[in-house]
Every structure is written in C-alpha cells, then in structure tokens.
C-alpha cells in the first residue's frame, strides 16, 4: 500500500519529496501528495517528515 500524507499535518516543507527515490511525491502549493501509482512503499518519506504527516497506507 502506498504511503499517505495527512494534509492537515503537512507543512509543505518538501523533505518527503526530496527523499523519495522514485519521485512519487509532488508539491501542490503548500501541501505535498503521494502518487499511489509511483509509490513503492519504501518509507523514505515517512522518516524524512518532521511533522509525522506521512503514514503507511
């Protein structure tokens, strides 16, 4: 299952996007989102998120 970013907790810092090895995360304004078709469920984004907004799906 792909990881999920909780929009209410996301501060849009881009740390998750910078750490994603398959470029599955995009930034839309001040929020980030995961493309479930690209996500390989590696967890790199979850460990990089300073607010804990990312969880395994």
Query: What percent of the chain clears pLDDT 90, i.e. is strictly above it?
Result: 93
Average pLDDT score, the chain: 96
pLDDT in tens, 6-31: 999 999 999 999 999 999 999 988 99
Domains identified in the chain and CATH numbers: 4-55 (3.30.70.20)
Nearest to 4 by CA among 36, 27, 30: 36
Model confidence at 57: pLDDT above 90: no
34 neighbors 2 (Cβ within 8 angstroms): yes
């Amino acid at each position: 299952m792909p990881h999920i970013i909780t929009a209410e907790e996301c501060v849009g810092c881009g740390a998750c996007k910078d750490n994603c090895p398959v470029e599955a995360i995009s930034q839309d304004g001040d929020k980030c989102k995961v493309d479930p078709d690209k996500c390989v469920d590696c967890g790199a984004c979850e460990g990089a998120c300073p607010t804990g907004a990312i969880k395994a799906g």
